[in-house]
């Protein structure tokens, strides 16, 4: 089937198609139940043959006004309903898609190469979206319903999924899937794509090897986790690394890695394990380095403590739009965590704990760039002293080495 065929695309978006697909899906379920077929044990090829044969018979018996390409589209979508994620299965299988966003049954977006665009995909109704959400969550023992209308989870392949349903989602159930790259970006890929220069790469590798405490700073979708993963690959073998994440995304290839993941509360609102719990526990596990996927709550104080008490070379990411904003963000999180000391004292702790800030950003055209690599030199009164080592000149589109002016 030619997925790019405009005629097929229009057909798949029509109400007629949605009704035919729902009717054929019910027919398949009836056939499976009547014949007591255990399709969970079937491989993909056997399911595809079964669906194709049923589609051929169904078209003849019901005298459906569809041509061969349209019946192939119906069969493919019915197969995805049986063994996959329904209308979005093709997007899940597409390696060029990084993110999938479903805003109700009739609006689906994907991100490719940093750019978000709508795609001609639709669900039958709200219940259809919820049914697919439940199928996504079932293998990991999670679900959404009126009592738990929000869920954030990691799928078995490492992808992250967030789902929100009514009554919280006013306009229908919503799903966001951040797909896990099968082949992680390498340092060479980032240099080749212009995300950073070779000089920046060499500098960062040297700082990681020499156990610099650093934070990767950036906005949503800027590539913070991808960049942190690349940096962590330069940690020398033999060091004991403890990672703490809300949803495990880091892929370290080292032989001595302990991965810890937070746990949400159960239906009774109990037994949650927070990032702060895990960072505190990591300090008791004889780590050489602690890597926190993202500092976003009261674990900030424990992370700074780790960096200040001999765990050199620790790393994390932080949501902030500039390196200077990152310091203010740390102060804000520390306040939420119950810090009651003075601003001067806290900024002194920040300057003592962190030696390097790496600011990454996604530009308007979707390209991701290292905007600056900034050293923290110390603190003077209320001010944290910083100095750019590298910066990205957006007007010229070049990475500038600032060390020549130091």
Please count the CA atoms within 13 angstroms of the CA of 107 that sit on its side-chain side.
Answer: 8
CA distances from 384 to 136, 166, 299, 300, 336 (A): 46, 45, 21, 17, 21
What CATH number is given to the structural domain containing 123? 3.30.450.370
Same domain, 76 and 92: no
Average the pLDDT over each of 22-26, 238-242, 312-316, 366-370 and give the range with the smallest value.
22-26
Same domain, 10 and 156: no
Q: What is the pLDDT of residues 315-332, one digit of tens each?
A: 999 999 999 999 999 999
Q: What is the pLDDT of residues 128-168, one digit of tens each?
A: 899 899 989 988 888 898 888 999 888 888 788 999 999 99
Q: What is the pLDDT of residues 192-213, one digit of tens each?
A: 999 999 999 999 999 999 999 9
Domain finish residue from 82, 105, 124: 82
Q: What is the pLDDT of residues 42-72, one digit of tens each?
A: 888 888 899 999 998 988 888 888 888 888 8
Domain finish residue from 35, 54, 82: 82
Average pLDDT over residues 218-232: 91
Same domain, 288 and 204: yes
Q: 269 falls in which pLDDT band (50, 70, 90)?
A: confident
Comparison of pLDDT for 266 and 29, the residue scoring more: 29
Same domain, 71 and 175: no
Comparison of pLDDT for 141 and 294, the residue scoring more: 294
Q: 80 falls in which pLDDT band (50, 70, 90)?
A: confident
**Counted domains in the chain:** 3
Same domain, 139 and 120: yes
Residue 1 has what pLDDT? 39
Same domain, 145 and 3: no
Same domain, 70 and 98: no
CA distances from 96 to 100, 115, 167, 183 (A): 11, 11, 33, 12
Same domain, 383 and 238: yes
Domain finish residue from 29, 54, 82: 82
Same domain, 59 and 105: no
Full residue range of the structural domain in which residue 67 is found: 1-82
Average pLDDT over residues 108-116: 91
Residue 2 has what pLDDT? 43
Q: 249 falls in which pLDDT band (50, 70, 90)?
A: confident
Residue 155 has what pLDDT? 84
Same domain, 257 and 366: yes
What CATH number is given to the structural domain containing 269? 3.40.50.300
Of 360, 340, 344, the closest CA to residue 352 belongs to 344
Same domain, 143 and 194: no
Same domain, 338 and 232: yes
């Amino acid at each position: 089937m030619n997925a790019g065929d405009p005629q097929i695309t229009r057909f798949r978006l029509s109400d007629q198609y949605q009704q035919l697909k729902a009717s054929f899906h019910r027919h398949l379920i009836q056939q499976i139940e009547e014949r007591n077929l255990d399709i969970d044990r079937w491989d993909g090829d056997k399911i595809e043959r079964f669906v194709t044969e049923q589609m051929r018979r169904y078209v003849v018996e019901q005298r459906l006004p569809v041509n061969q390409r349209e019946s192939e589209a119906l069969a493919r979508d019915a197969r995805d309903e049986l063994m996959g994620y329904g209308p979005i299965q093709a997007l899940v299988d597409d390696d060029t898609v990084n993110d999938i966003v479903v805003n109700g049954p009739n609006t689906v977006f994907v991100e490719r190469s940093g750019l978000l665009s709508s795609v001609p995909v639709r669900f039958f109704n709200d219940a259809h979206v919820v049914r697919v959400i439940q199928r996504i969550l079932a293998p990991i023992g999670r679900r959404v319903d009126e009592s738990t209308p929000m869920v954030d989870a990691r799928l078995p392949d490492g992808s992250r999924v967030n789902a929100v349903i009514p009554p919280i989602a006013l306009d229908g159930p919503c799903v966001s899937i951040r797909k896990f790259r099968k082949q992680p970006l390498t340092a060479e890929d980032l240099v080749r794509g212009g995300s950073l220069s070779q000089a920046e790469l060499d500098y960062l590798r040297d700082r990681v090897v020499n156990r610099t405490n650093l934070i990767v700073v950036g906005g949503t979708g800027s590539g913070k986790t991808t960049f942190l993963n690349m940096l962590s690959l330069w940690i020398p073998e033999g060091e004991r690394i403890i990672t703490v994440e809300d949803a495990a995304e880091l892929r370290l290839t080292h032989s001595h890695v302990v991965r810890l993941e937070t746990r949400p509360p159960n239906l009774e609102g109990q037994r949650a394990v927070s990032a702060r719990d895990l960072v505190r526990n990591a300090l008791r596990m004889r780590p050489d380095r602690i890597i926190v996927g993202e500092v976003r709550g009261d674990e900030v104080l424990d992370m700074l403590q780790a960096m200040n008490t001999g765990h050199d070379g620790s790393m994390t990411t932080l949501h902030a739009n500039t390196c200077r904003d990152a310091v203010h963000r740390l102060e804000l999180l520390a306040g939420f965590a119950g810090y009651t000391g003075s601003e001067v004292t806290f900024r002194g702790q920040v300057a003592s704990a962190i030696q390097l800030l790496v600011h990454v950003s996604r530009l308007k055209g979707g390209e991701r760039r290292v905007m600056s690599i900034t050293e923290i030199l110390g603190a003077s009164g209320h001010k944290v002293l910083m100095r750019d080592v590298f910066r990205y000149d957006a007007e010229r589109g070049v990475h500038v080495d600032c060390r020549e002016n130091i």
